[in-house]
């Protein structure tokens, strides 16, 4: 019998549009003889769209409004074998939807509540990784309330880290809300931008010079495997939203042309991070490599990485001999196996 998959896409997130393009990729690539896939788009308002509206939203690439409260959707979701929450960012990749599906007793692809939440929040991720001795750039957490109480806190933190530095919403992706801050005069604007997306904001020291960006895919539950290491190259100052989603701005190199020992370090740290954060199913774990010093830093863990046929995660596994269709099949299997 065919496996009945409910594919959730869109969502109330700064990465709504990215999620819809991942979903179009999965829908087009899944073998129809093995899977019966039903897409369900969640609008930017967080409501679940009926089938006709879902089809329209997938074509348009966005759903601003419309739909029902998710409670009705959850009842419908119970008639599927597995839910694939192909949602990026807040209200999707952060444990919220995972909690809903857990309560409803429906198996789903990817990390559970803890792994999703701990990996989505950059500050929480860093605290867990630090406890496991995984190298990271120096950083500071600021909350909106803290900055309101003590307006000088941000400047103090920034001076401790030095410039340039990066300001990021703790819970986001696709570089939404992220700024590179070159001096004190740019700090306020960057904070305003980041706090517009999250009440928690992370300041990060920049690597020594523009880093090389290495990414590795993890697949599995209790016995996870690491893919070959890939590298992203681009001309832009940093890997911002436009560079990520404008055709031709960035290129993927798999395997990355780095010393064997560097690739092994990346894979080892990635597996350690996956376990430490209680991830399951899949994750794309991203690193900075300072070629001048040879130092590797773990940047972040993405529990629901971009998933179009040209995205890094499926291509890392293709390099390991796993086709896009086989990869999705494996993810669906992992959803119902022991975590
Ligand atoms: P994703 O879309 O992968 O989820 P994200 O929105 O979570 O990304 P980051 O990966 O944290 O954002 O940062 C985006 C980009 O900004 C990085 O890929 C890198 O180009 C640049 N960057 C971020 N932090 C640093 C840093 N500390 N030093 C140097 N470059 C950085
Ligand atoms: Mg991210
Ligand atoms: Mg992300
Ligand atoms: Mg990133």
From its phi and psi, is residue 298 left (phi > 0), alpha (psi between -120 and 50) or beta?
Answer: beta
31 and 163 in a single domain? The answer is no
CATH number at residue 160: 3.30.1490.20
Identify whether 237 is part of a domain.
Answer: yes
Identify whether 67 is part of a domain.
Answer: yes
Which of 9, 72, 75 has its CA nearest to residue 44? 9
Of 205, 227, 260, the domain-final residue: 205
Angle between the N-to-C axes of helices 122-131 and 113-120, in degrees from 0 to 180, rounded to the nearest 10:
100
131 and 268 in a single domain? The answer is yes
- Give the binding-site residues of ligand 1, using a 6 Å CB cut-off: 137, 166, 168, 172-175, 178, 204, 206-207, 211, 213, 238-239, 286, 288, 299-300, 302
C-alpha span between 125 and 56 (Å, rounded): 37
127 and 260 in a single domain? The answer is yes
Identify whether 113 is part of a domain.
Answer: no
Identify whether 248 is part of a domain.
Answer: yes
Which residues make beta-bridge pairs with 290? Answer: 295
Ligand 1 mutation pick, 166, 202, 304, max ligand atoms within 8 A of CB: 166
CA of 51 to the centre of ligand 4 (A): 32
Predicted local confidence at residue 69, as pLDDT: 85
Predicted local confidence at residue 252, as pLDDT: 98
| Model ipTM over 0.95 | yes
Taken as a whole, the chain contains a residue count of 339
Identify whether 42 is part of a domain.
Answer: yes
27 and 103 in a single domain? The answer is yes
Of 205, 220, 242, the domain-final residue: 205
284 and 326 in a single domain? The answer is yes
160 and 236 in a single domain? The answer is no
Give the whole-number percent of the chain exceeding pLDDT 90.
Answer: 88
Among 43, 174, 311, 315, the one annotated catalytic: 174
C-alpha span between 44 and 62 (Å, rounded): 8
19 and 168 in a single domain? The answer is no
Identify whether 329 is part of a domain.
Answer: yes
Which of 130, 110, 132 has its CA nearest to residue 122? 130
Lateral strand order in the sheet of 200-205: 139-143, 200-205, 165-169, 179-181
C-alpha span between 247 and 156 (Å, rounded): 39
123 and 262 in a single domain? The answer is yes
Predicted local confidence at residue 309, as pLDDT: 83
Residues in the chain with pLDDT values less than 50: none
Among 10, 14, 15, 89, the one annotated catalytic: 15
Q: Is 245 considered catalytic here?
A: yes
Give the atom of ligand 1 at the shortest distance from the alpha carbon of 205.
27
224 and 171 in a single domain? The answer is no
CA of 300 to the centre of ligand 2 (A): 6
- Residue 162, Cβ density class (10 Å: 0-12 exposed, 13-18 middle, ≥19 buried): exposed
**For the chain, the helix, strand and coil percentages under 3-state DSSP, each to the nearest 5:** 40, 25, 35
Identify whether 68 is part of a domain.
Answer: yes
Predicted local confidence at residue 73, as pLDDT: 78
Q: Nearest C-alpha to atom 4 of ligand 1 is from which residue?
A: 173
Q: Is 269 considered catalytic here?
A: no
Strands 165-169 and 179-181: antiparallel
Of 185, 205, 225, the domain-final residue: 205
- Cα separations in angstroms, 82 against 4, 7, 42: 7, 9, 17
CATH number at residue 299: 3.30.470.20
Predicted local confidence at residue 143, as pLDDT: 98
Strands 200-205 and 179-181: unpaired
CA of 180 to the centre of ligand 1 (A): 10
Supply the range of the domain harboring residue 286. Answer: 118-135+209-336
CATH number at residue 83: 3.40.50.20
Predicted local confidence at residue 339, as pLDDT: 87
Neighbours of 79 (CB within 10 A): 10
Rg (CA), the chain: 20
Give the atom of ligand 1 at the shortest distance from the alpha carbon of 206.
28
CA of 182 to the centre of ligand 1 (A): 15
Q: Nearest 10 degrees: CA dihedral of 306, 10, 175, 235?
A: 50
From its phi and psi, is residue 91 left (phi > 0), alpha (psi between -120 and 50) or beta?
Answer: left
Identify whether 45 is part of a domain.
Answer: yes
Which of 216, 212, 214, 213 has its CA nearest to residue 284? 216
167 and 199 in a single domain? The answer is yes
Looking at the 3D structure of the chain, how many domains does it have? 3
305 and 188 in a single domain? The answer is no
Predicted local confidence at residue 169, as pLDDT: 97
Contact 221, 281 (CB under 8 A): yes
172 and 147 in a single domain? The answer is yes
């Amino acid at each position: 019998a065919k496996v009945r998959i409910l594919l959730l896409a869109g969502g109330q997130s700064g990465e709504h549009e990215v999620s819809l393009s991942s979903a179009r990729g999965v829908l087009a690539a899944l073998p129809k003889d093995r899977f019966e896939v039903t897409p369900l788009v969640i609008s930017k308002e967080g409501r679940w769209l009926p089938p006709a509206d879902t089809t329209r939203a997938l074509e348009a690439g966005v759903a601003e409004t419309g739909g029902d409260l998710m409670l009705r959707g959850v009842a419908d979701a119970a008639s599927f074998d597995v839910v694939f929450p192909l949602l990026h960012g807040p209200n999707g990749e952060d444990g919220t939807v995972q909690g809903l599906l857990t309560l409803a007793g429906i198996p789903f692809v990817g990390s559970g509540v803890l792994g999703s939440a701990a990996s989505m929040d950059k500050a929480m991720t860093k605290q867990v990784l630090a406890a496991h001795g995984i190298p990271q750039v120096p950083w500071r957490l600021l909350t909106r309330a803290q900055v309101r109480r003590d307006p000088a806190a941000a400047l103090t933190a920034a001076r401790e880290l030095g410039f340039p530095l990066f300001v990021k919403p703790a819970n986001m992706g696709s570089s939404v809300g992220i700024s590179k801050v070159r001096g004190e005069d740019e700090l306020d604007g960057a904070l305003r931008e980041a706090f517009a997306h999250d009440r928690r904001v992370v300041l990060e020291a920049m690597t020594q010079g523009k880093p090389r960006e290495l990414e590795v895919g993890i697949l599995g539950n209790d016995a996870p495997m690491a893919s070959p290491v890939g590298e992203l190259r681009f001309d832009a100052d940093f890997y911002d939203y436009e560079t990520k989603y404008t055709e031709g701005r960035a290129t993927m190199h798999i395997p990355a042309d780095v010393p064997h020992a560097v690739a092994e370090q990346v894979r080892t740290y990635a597996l350690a991070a996956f376990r430490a954060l209680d991830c399951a199913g899949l994750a794309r774990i991203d690193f900075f490599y300072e070629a001048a010093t040879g130092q590797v830093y773990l940047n972040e863990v993405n529990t629901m990485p971009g998933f179009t046929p040209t995205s890094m995660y499926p291509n890392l596994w293709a390099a390991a001999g796993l086709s896009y269709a086989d990869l999705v099949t494996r993810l669906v299997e992992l959803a119902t196996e022991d975590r």
